Amino acid sequence: MNITAIYGSPREGGNTDLLLAEFVRGARAAGAEVAELALRNYHFSPCIECGGCNDTGSCILKDDMDQIYLYLRQSPIICLAAPVFFYSVNAATKAMIDRCQCFWTGKYLLKKPLSRERGCRGKGYLLSVGGTKGQKVFDCVMLTMKYFYDALDMEFAHSLLYRQIDAKAAILNHPEALKEAYELGMTAVKG
């Protein structure tokens, strides 16, 4: 089974990176092949809302998103790890999600959902960390992810959300969170 793990944070070695690394470790222990993509290593523009994908379901912009699209199209399991910035996902993660408008167009306007191409509906997972204790810190993140995975024609299967964790690598002080991420990786493969 192939899994795509997307590191959304601009901060290498940060909290969501560490959580996703544990998810990946668990998935590999369960026998999966995992492709790891760090968005900070790709250069792509945000969606320019040009409507160019309306007739084809393909984005007309040519940049590093073309490489990411290959994984989004083919992987039956995708796990995205992104920190909370101003009660939403960070900018690079949101730009990637917005560029998936072409998949929304394919699914809803052209009636060609990715599940046909992929051979299954697939499942999406989220790992997220927010520095604040606010009770609504993940509300926008969860809505964004719900519709992101819907555009990819995937079930939004599960999320692990941790609040009041902010400093770089502070998640290491929460071994139960790391264990949960590892176990989720295993479950995603076995489930």
Confidence class of residue 171 from pLDDT cuts 50, 70 and 90?
very high
Cβ atoms of 12 and 44 within 8 Å: the answer is: no
Confidence of residue 191 (pLDDT cuts 50, 70, 90): confident
| Cβ atoms of residues 32 and 26 within 8 Å | no
Distance, in Å, from the CA atom of 83 to the CA atom of 128, rounded to the nearest integer, reads 5
Q: What percent of the chain has pLDDT over 70?
A: 99
Conformational region of residue 87, where left means phi above 0, alpha means psi within -120 to 50, and beta covers everything else? left
The closest of 145, 13, 25 to 161, measured between CA atoms, is 145
Residue type, 156: F
Query: How does pLDDT run across 2-56, given as a tens digit for each residue?
Result: 999 999 999 999 999 999 999 999 999 999 999 999 999 999 999 999 999 999 9
Q: What CATH number did the domain enclosing 93 receive? A: 3.40.50.360
Q: What is the pLDDT of residues 145-167, one digit of tens each?
A: 999 999 999 999 999 999 999 99
User: Following DSSP, what letter does each residue of 65-134 receive, concatenated?
Assistant: HHHHHHHHHH-SEEEEEEEEETTEE-HHHHHHHHTTHHHHIIIIIS---HHHHHSS--EEEEEEEESS--
Count structural domains, the chain.
Answer: 1
Segments forming the whole domain that contains residue 15: 2-190
